[in-house]
């Protein structure tokens, strides 16, 4: 037998910027953000979600003016649909690829993706598979995009209604979190993004959870400072986990950042993607926290803090959808999604998590029933 063992390491690093208004930043900083030097002037191909063009009608001309000012080549902006329906629409990725061909976009060019978490996932996937990877500048425009989806290393589209079935791990070149975009977001979408902050606080950082509880009134009214603080801390915890837990490309089965997500993915699908990802995550967190309480992993007081925070922020439990949840099937789909054995993150107190390999389905049904049978005030 002949065998050659290949082994190499690739180091990734990328900055995540937090700015109030990207378009009014000074030229020097913009050049740094876009890694522009006098020799290096790659083509920028902006792909913008149409909801952003509706909310900020001058965005395309602002981009053109900006890159003209920076003396950078820019193609016309490609404006397309986003949201979960964009991730479900199989026509969009080929359209992006065709545009790359039309504008001679190569691996030294940059795709600048401006849109919500779903849009960034979809454009990121197209960028990752075209020419085996075009550099990606992400400019997420939602709370969830800025504190979670846009800052990580994954991208995906849905396939035959299966959430994130096609995708790759491909770190971006840089992430630009521009707070100005958040100002035009619906209340529903501002709230949805807070769910991921609650999630990561619960599994990683009890102080951050306490802070969310203390800031509940400000967050409920989407106070600018409270929101910016929440976005920054949430993004930092996600990135710290990705960079330091030793498994950025998720080769193992443990997936702590997916706390509450085994049911959230199913709930999103069962709602026909009517529920936002963050709204489904809020329900998923509640279900798994209730389960942890029944298991004596959370005290009554700890559980109540979680329930109060989520409900006070205005999340609602869509009973009609939750009552359709098939626990066994959803866990099985999640296991396939993880690859290997079932590994579910559960709370062991606030700010601490553990991985479990099996779920007591009867007890989980009891947790789900608690939310659908009007027993919550028990
Ligand atoms: N890749 C990852 O690591 C990762 C992590 C978490 C979540 N996700 C994915 O992120 C997606 C959810 O992202 P989301 O919560 O941002 O939802 P979204 O992208 O669906 O956006 C929500 C809505 O807001 C609109 N919108 C976006 N920006 C706007 C703005 N600035 N002003 C007004 N309207 C705006 C969109 O058109 C959409 O209707 C899900 O598909 C989820 O699977 C990915
Ligand atoms: Zn999520």
**Residue 55 CB less than 6 A away from ligand 1:** yes
N-terminal to C-terminal alpha carbon distance within the chain: 68
**Same domain membership, residue 151 and residue 194:** no
**Same domain membership, residue 344 and residue 289:** yes
Across residues 251-257, what is the average pLDDT? 85
Ramachandran assignment for 373, one of left (phi > 0), alpha (psi -120 to 50 degrees), beta (any other): alpha
Query: How would you classify the pairing of strands 162-169 and 154-159?
Result: antiparallel
In a domain? residue 5: no
Q: Looking at residue 254, which CATH number applies to its domain?
A: 1.20.1090.10
Across residues 280-302, what is the average pLDDT? 98
In a domain? residue 1: no
Report CA-CA distances (Å) from 298 to 80, 295, 378. 45, 8, 17
The residue to mutate among 53, 277, 284, 334, having the most atoms of ligand 1 within 8 angstroms of its beta carbon, is 277
pTM: predicted TM-score of the whole model, two decimal places: 0.95
**Same domain membership, residue 172 and residue 32:** yes
Q: Is the dihedral of CA 121, 126, 130, 132 positive or negative?
A: positive
**Same domain membership, residue 179 and residue 199:** no
Q: What is the pLDDT of residues 163-175, one digit of tens each?
A: 899 999 999 999 9
Instruction: Using the predicted structure, report yes or no on whether residue 186 has a pLDDT greater than 70.
Output: yes
pLDDT for 254: 82
**Same domain membership, residue 164 and residue 152:** yes
**Residue 178 CB less than 6 A away from ligand 1:** no
Instruction: Using the predicted structure, report yes or no on whether residue 35 has a pLDDT greater than 90.
Output: no
Q: Is the dihedral of CA 190, 195, 198, 204 positive or negative?
A: negative
Supply the range of the domain harboring residue 243.
188-372
> What is the CA(278)–ligand 1 centre distance, in A?
9
Report CA-CA distances (Å) from 348 to 8, 317, 355, 356, 378. 37, 23, 10, 11, 23
Q: What is the pLDDT of residues 292-338, one digit of tens each?
A: 999 999 999 999 999 999 999 999 999 999 999 999 999 999 998 88
Query: How would you classify the pairing of strands 174-178 and 135-140?
Result: parallel
**Same domain membership, residue 165 and residue 193:** no
In a domain? residue 179: yes
**Same domain membership, residue 343 and residue 274:** yes
| b/e per residue 153-162 (b: at least 16 CB within 10 A) | bbbbbbeeee
Q: State the DSSP H helix or E strand holding residue 322, giving kind and residue range, or none if neither.
A: helix 319-322
Confidence of residue 53 (pLDDT cuts 50, 70, 90): very high
Across residues 1-18, what is the average pLDDT? 95
**Same domain membership, residue 208 and residue 175:** no
**To the nearest whole percent, how much of the chain has pLDDT over 70?**
98
Confidence of residue 38 (pLDDT cuts 50, 70, 90): low
Give the atom of ligand 1 at the shortest distance from the alpha carbon of 278.
Answer: 15
pLDDT for 203: 97
In a domain? residue 114: yes
Report which protein residue has its CA nearest ligand 1's atom 39. Answer: 83
């Amino acid at each position: 037998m002949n065998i050659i063992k290949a082994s190499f390491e690739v180091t990734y690093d990328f900055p995540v910027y937090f700015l109030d208004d990207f378009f009014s930043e000074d030229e020097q900083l913009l050049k740094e953000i876009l890694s522009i030097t006098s020799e290096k002037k790659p083509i920028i191909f902006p792909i913008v979600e149409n909801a952003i063009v509706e909310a900020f009608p001058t965005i395309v001309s602002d981009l053109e003016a900006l890159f003209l000012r920076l003396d950078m080549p820019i193609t016309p902006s490609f404006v397309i649909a986003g949201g979960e329906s964009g991730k479900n629409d199989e026509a969009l990725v080929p359209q992006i690829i065709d545009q790359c061909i039309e504008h001679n976009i190569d691996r030294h060019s940059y795709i600048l993706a401006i849109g919500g978490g779903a849009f960034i996932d979809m454009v990121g996937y197209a960028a990752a598979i075209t020419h085996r990877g075009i550099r990606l500048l992400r400019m997420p425009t939602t709370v969830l995009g800025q504190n979670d989806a846009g800052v990580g290393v994954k991208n995906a589209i849905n396939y035959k209604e299966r959430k994130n079935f096609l995708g790759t791990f491909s770190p971006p070149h840089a992430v630009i979190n521009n707070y100005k975009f958040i100002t035009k977001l619906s209340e529903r979408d501002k709230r949805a993004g807070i769910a991921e902050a609650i999630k990561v606080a619960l599994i990683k950082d009890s102080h951050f959870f306490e802070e969310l509880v203390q800031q509940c009134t400000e967050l409920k009214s989407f106070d600018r400072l409270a929101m910016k603080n929440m976005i920054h801390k949430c993004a930092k915890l996600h990135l710290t986990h990705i960079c330091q837990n030793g498994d950025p490309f998720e080769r193992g089965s443990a997936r702590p950042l997916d706390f509450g997500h085994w049911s959230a993915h199913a709930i999103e699908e069962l709602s026909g993607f009517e529920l936002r990802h963050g709204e489904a995550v809020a329900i998923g967190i509640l279900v798994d926290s209730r389960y942890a309480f029944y298991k004596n992993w959370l005290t009554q007081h700890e559980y109540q803090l979680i329930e109060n925070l989520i409900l006070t922020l205005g999340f609602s439990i869509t009973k009609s959808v939750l009552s359709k949840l098939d626990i066994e099937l959803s866990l099985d789909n999640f296991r396939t999604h993880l690859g290997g054995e079932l590994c579910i993150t559960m709370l062991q107190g606030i700010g601490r998590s553990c991985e479990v390999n099996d779920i007591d389905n009867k007890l989980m049904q009891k947790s789900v029933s608690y939310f659908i049978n009007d027993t919550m005030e028990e």
